[in-house]
Amino acid sequence: MRVRDSGMDASTVIGLLHPGEMGAEVGRCLAERGHLVLWASHGRSEQTATRAAMAGLTDAGTAADLAGRADAIISVCPPHGALAVARSVRGFGGLYVDANAISPATARQVAEIAASSMRRVVYVSCNPATLGRDAGLLRSAGFRILSALPVDQFLWSARLESVVVLAR
């Protein structure tokens, strides 16, 4: 995995929900760059705890405790769990990155959950049509696009992800 400079310094505390195989790799990359990466062990398996320890992640206990300590939260979970994960940190006022492969309708529901206190959204999409539609919806809700970055996540394939940062 290639990691570009995010503009965050190493003092940025990052919460990771939840360190499965992909999430643990994301967390490992961030920890290697000097970030304190928190995860929430409450309700998680021993296998997840082992993966988190091997990736150098720090246990915050619960999702609520993680949200209280983190500057940014990255959600990496199976699509069916995206809403429950977002609800577990309801009211979090920092940067929330939903890095799940979810449908645009579910992405809008996640945005609604966090809308009351969310100032910044990082939208990741592999579909330009839905990205355009959803970015338009977010703009009409007061968000403005700060940056857009194409990401070649699947080298040597025709797929290209788009990462768009919006803020209000």
pLDDT: which is higher, 52 or 82: 52
Catalytic machinery residues = 126
Contact 15, 67 (CB under 8 A): yes
Supply the pLDDT for residue 5. Answer: 43
Supply the pLDDT for residue 2. Answer: 37
Mean pLDDT computed over 123-149: 79
Mean pLDDT computed over 90-115: 72
Supply the pLDDT for residue 1. Answer: 36
Q: How many CA atoms lie within 13 A of 55 on its CB side?
A: 29
pLDDT: which is higher, 96 or 105: 96
Helix (H) / strand (E) containing 148: strand 144-151
Residue 69: DSSP 8-state? H
The residue count for the chain: 168
Q: Say if residue 41's pLDDT is above 70.
A: yes
Q: Say if residue 7's pLDDT is above 60.
A: no
Supply the pLDDT for residue 13. Answer: 94
Contact 77, 17 (CB under 8 A): yes
Q: Say if residue 54's pLDDT is above 80.
A: yes
| Burial environment of residue 27 by CB neighbours within 10 A (0 to 12, 13 to 18, 19 or more) | buried
Minimum mean pLDDT range among 43-52, 138-147, 150-159:
150-159
At residue 72 the predicted structure's pLDDT band, cuts being 50, 70 and 90, is very high
Contact 51, 20 (CB under 8 A): yes
Supply the pLDDT for residue 151. Answer: 78
